[in-house]
């Protein structure tokens, strides 16, 4: 099967200042209808050295830079625990509508009824999907949602008269979980998963005490496995007065199938840029709504959106709130995209998303488990985790670099830490069987190369824009020049 990665045309592109030639101009200004007057030299003495380019120079420069990028519009993006799936273009159309794109955040409520209604309805949709009682769409990203949830747990214990000092963090949790707990002053108590990659209730019972604020549990976990004992674990934590924080970053696997709020969790964050198909990566913007049950609802950040008769408005006079978490009310354009996605998919469509995401991940797992080592050979959810045990001394990093030559962005590597040499693949629901078969064949070919010509992988990539870099130097002294 022909692979999408070829040598092709690779443009070198200098810095835009190097292309500058005095006198060139990319625009044609109309003739002035007033007499020209030179600026005072005092104003121009420190003027910036802006490049002077023709229109063609500008267009080619930015077009060539864009061709160096790889994204979901280019091909399969198999980053595990990141859900890099296709973003339907209808979402962009809705977010770009004048009434939304040009809404001013300082307008009074009476002039923002459409925007407020959308956010109010989105919160209701997310509450229904997750099985919780209330939602805020204010947090700006997943980790920000984590912090919001943990601040509410902290405020809950404070309100009850006894602050606690510890949080249980399983070894299959997302890496931001202990950081969010630490920001709230909690010490993390690490708990190892069982031999099959699933948390065992006895392990939680052994560390849960009355000085522990609760547990942060990622479900499905970072091995791509569903925590089958989650109800029992929630009961154990609640029996000692603790609360259960659910990391919902992997909701793409269970949306429409499982409602975390109905199985014992007290608070959950979502990643709209993962589960609800809004743009992802590049540093933002994102959105990390937080859903809570009744006992935590009073602590939600302000302002809250309420509906009185036919009018929507913000309220802030809530005595137990943790306060404001974000300037204005979140990344509104991302919220519009998620709302569009939910409406266009409908309830049955959202359920099918999870079914297809799980089907695709299990298809890759079954097709590749004879080629790559599979530490946990169980039915997976949205992602599957291999490692390099069968290819050593060729490593996971070597295989990831070689994938670039075949036209693929590498998957997540060396995470989760519970799998040595981890090679994590998440195909998402938006990839077809043809696309998955191409990717599988590329990995099978690479595995054969690892056996026959390992030196080929040790020096990969060979036909990418940039050859293999020293990892440490590249991180400390990034080269931003083409």
- Set out the domains of the chain in order of their start, with CATH numbers: 90-344 (3.40.640.10)
Q: Mean pLDDT throughout 102-109?
A: 92
Detail the DSSP E strand segments found in 128-258. 134-136, 166-170, 187-191, 212-218, 243-248
Say which range, 47-61, 97-111, 278-292, 325-339, has the weakest mean pLDDT: 278-292
CA distances from 190 to 178, 207, 216, 264, 270 (A): 9, 9, 10, 21, 23
Q: How far apart are CA 390 and CA 383, in angstroms?
A: 20
Confirm if 244 and 167 have CB atoms less than 8 A apart: no
Q: What is the pLDDT of residues 263-298, one digit of tens each?
A: 999 999 999 999 999 988 666 688 999 999 999 999
Strand partners, 309: none
Burial profile 251-260: b = 16 or more Cβ within 10 angstroms, e = fewer:
bbbbbbebbb
Which pLDDT does position 481 carry in this prediction? 65
Q: Mean pLDDT throughout 196-223?
A: 97
Place of tokens 């006895």: 202
| Alpha helices, H only, 31-173 | 41-44, 55-67, 89-95, 98-101, 113-130, 142-159
State yes or no: pLDDT of 210 exceeds 80: yes
Confirm if 428 and 389 have CB atoms less than 8 A apart: no
Q: Mean pLDDT throughout 305-312?
A: 96
Q: Mean pLDDT throughout 130-147?
A: 96
Confirm if 183 and 147 have CB atoms less than 8 A apart: yes
Q: What is the pLDDT of residues 448-463, one digit of tens each?
A: 999 999 999 999 999 8
Residue 19, phi-psi category: left (phi > 0), alpha (psi -120 to 50), beta (remainder): alpha
Which pLDDT does position 9 carry in this prediction? 65
Q: How far apart are CA 461 and CA 403, in angstroms?
A: 8
Q: Which two tokens stand for residue 209?
A: 């005490």
Which pLDDT does position 443 carry in this prediction? 97
State yes or no: pLDDT of 482 exceeds 60: no
State yes or no: pLDDT of 58 exceeds 80: yes
Which pLDDT does position 67 carry in this prediction? 85
Q: Which two tokens stand for residue 40?
A: 């005072």
Q: Mean pLDDT throughout 301-330?
A: 95
Q: Mean pLDDT throughout 400-406?
A: 95
User: What is the pTM (predicted TM-score) of this model?
Assistant: 0.91
pLDDT band at 175 (very low <50, low <70, confident <90, very high): confident
Which pLDDT does position 283 carry in this prediction? 64
Q: How far apart are CA 83 and CA 256, in angstroms?
A: 17
Which pLDDT does position 466 carry in this prediction? 83
Confirm if 373 and 388 have CB atoms less than 8 A apart: yes
Place of tokens 């590249």: 474
Strand partners, 413: 423
- Report which of residues 327 and 136 the model is more confident about: 136
Q: Mean pLDDT throughout 111-132?
A: 97
State yes or no: pLDDT of 36 exceeds 90: no
Say which range, 7-11, 122-126, 152-156, 298-302, has the weakest mean pLDDT: 7-11
Percentage of the chain exceeding pLDDT 70? 97
Q: How far apart are CA 362 and CA 220, in angstroms?
A: 14
Q: Mean pLDDT throughout 345-350?
A: 96
Percentage of the chain exceeding pLDDT 90? 80
């Amino acid at each position: 099967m022909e692979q999408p990665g070829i040598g092709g045309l690779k443009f070198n592109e200098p810095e835009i200042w190097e292309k500058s030639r005095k006198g060139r101009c990319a625009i044609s200004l109309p003739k002035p209808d007033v007499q020209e007057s030179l600026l005072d030299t005092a104003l121009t003495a420190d003027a910036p050295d802006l490049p002077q380019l023709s229109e063609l120079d500008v267009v080619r420069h930015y077009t060539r830079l864009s061709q160096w990028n790889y994204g979901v519009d280019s091909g399969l993006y198999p980053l595990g625990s990141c859900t890099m799936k296709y973003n339907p273009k209808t979402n962009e159309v809705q977010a770009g509508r004048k009434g939304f794109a040009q809404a001013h955040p300082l307008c009074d409520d009476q002039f923002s009824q459409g925007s407020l209604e959308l956010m109010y309805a989105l919160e209701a949709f997310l509450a229904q999907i997750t099985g919780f009682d209330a939602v805020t769409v204010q947090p700006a990203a997943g980790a920000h949602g984590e912090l919001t949830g943990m601040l509410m747990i902290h405020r809950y214990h404070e309100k009850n008269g006894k602050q606690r000092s510890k949080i249980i963090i399983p070894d299959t949790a997302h890496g931001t979980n202990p950081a969010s707990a630490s920001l709230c002053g909690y010490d993390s108590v690490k708990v190892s998963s069982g031999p099959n990659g699933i948390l065992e209730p006895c392990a939680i019972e052994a560390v849960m005490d009355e000085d522990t604020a609760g547990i942060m549990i990622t479900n499905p976990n970072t091995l791509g496995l569903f925590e089958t004992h989650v109800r029992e674990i929630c009961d154990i934590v609640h029996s000692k007065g603790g609360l259960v924080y659910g990391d919902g970053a992997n909701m793409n696997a269970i949306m429409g199938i499982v409602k975390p709020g109905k199985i014992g969790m007290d608070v959950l964050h979502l990643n709209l840029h993962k589960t609800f198909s809004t743009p992802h990566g590049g540093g933002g913007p994102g959105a990390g709504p937080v859903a809570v049950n009744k006992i935590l609802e009073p602590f939600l950040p302000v302002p809250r959106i309420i509906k009185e008769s036919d009018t929507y408005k913000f309220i802030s006079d809530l005595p137990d709130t943790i306060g404001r978490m974000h300037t204005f009310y979140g990344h509104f354009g991302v919220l519009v995209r998620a709302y569009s996605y939910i409406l266009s998919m409908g309830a049955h469509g959202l359920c099918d998303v999870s079914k297809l995401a799980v089907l695709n991940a299990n298809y890759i797992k079954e097709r590749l488990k004879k080629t790559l080592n599979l530490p946990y050979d169980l039915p997976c959810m949205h992602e599957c985790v291999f490692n390099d045990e069968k290819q050593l001394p060729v490593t996971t990093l070597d295989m990831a670099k070689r994938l670039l030559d075949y036209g693929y962005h590498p998957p997540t590597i060396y995470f989760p830490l519970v799998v040595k040499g981890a090679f994590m693949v998440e195909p998402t629901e938006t990839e077809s069987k043809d696309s998955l078969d191409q990717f599988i064949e590329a990995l099978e070919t690479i595995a054969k190369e690892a056996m026959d010509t390992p030196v080929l992988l040790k020096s990969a990539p060979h036909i990418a824009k940039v050859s293999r870099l020293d990892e440490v130097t590249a991180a400390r002294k990034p080269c931003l020049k083409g």
